[in-house]
Structure 1
């Protein structure tokens, strides 16, 4: 046996002995979480859109499409604003609403 292989063997034995004394750290394997995006309906003018997560999932985020009310010249009407964009009170859906125009809510849902 060469001196190099002897040193390697001793080093490996030292690692194995240390593992035996201190134990080997292990982690449990968690199931992989999956996500899906759910679209709500396009709202009627001034009404809410709600994108609800399906059973077995929970809400982790969301967003919206906004179709603002426009004047005859193509500009956004005075007073138009996005007035709701966030999770529902029950935490299962993303809710959006424009003051005068329309919105479409998007929910990001996760399993696991």
Structure 2
């Protein structure tokens, strides 16, 4: 069984609207910015953590409270390592949850994780759209439906794993689609399958 390091890897991905916090990075169109409730622009973001660290290879969920809307998220992780301290793990998923509204979900392939949700008071609860899996290193795209705009996204993945259990794959892309008329999120794995998730609001 691979050992877990004492140190904690921190990787807080924040696909959020800048108007919601001076520290957030703008990843949305002006239309998306305008769609958020006016009070959300000045109210402080609430950071919610999962109730506990996940079990090994299991999901950690952080859910925004009533009266707030999910605008981004991230994670802390305890990655699994082999006998010579080399990492053999990966973050399989860091994304808005499709089955659980207003929730950021995280999963490691072997190790444990703590999920973080960024919650904006007065902001709408986003609709989560899931793209078709990008098979064998091809791109997956999740697009918001007509009348809605993207405010961020994330990914789920099915990486290549060796017979000894080491993850030898990588999420190469998890980003907004750049095209002028685009309204979604894209994901691409190095070798195997990745799936894009996008948060959409009116």
TM-score strictly above 0.5 = yes
Secondary structure of the structure 1 residue equivalent to 2:85: coil
Distance (whole Å) between structure 2 residues aligned to residue 84 and residue 91 of structure 1: 16
Tell me what 1:85 maps to.
94
Give the unaligned 5+ runs of structure 2.
1-37, 123-202
Larger helix percent: 1
Q: Alignment partner for residue 56 of structure 1, among 46, 50, 67?
A: 67
Matched, 1:68 2:104: no
Distance (whole Å) between structure 1 residues aligned to residue 92 and residue 102 of structure 2: 19
Runs of 4 or more consecutive aligned structure 1 residues displaced over 6 Å after TM superposition: none
Offset from partner CA, 1:45-68 (integer Å, 9 cap, x none):
100100000111110100111211
Deviation, 1:38, is: 0.4
Deviation, 1:91, is: 3.9
Aligned pair count reads: 81
Give the unaligned 5+ runs of structure 1.
1-29
- RCO greater where, 1 or 2, for CA within 8 Å and sep 6 or more? 1
Tell me what 2:104 maps to.
94
Structure (1 or 2) with the larger CA radius of gyration: 1
Distance (whole Å) between structure 2 residues aligned to residue 102 and residue 75 of structure 1: 17
With normalisation by structure 1, the TM-score equals 0.66
Deviation, 1:34, is: 2.9
Distance (whole Å) between structure 1 residues aligned to residue 90 and residue 74 of structure 2: 15
Distance (whole Å) between structure 1 residues aligned to residue 44 and residue 59 of structure 2: 27
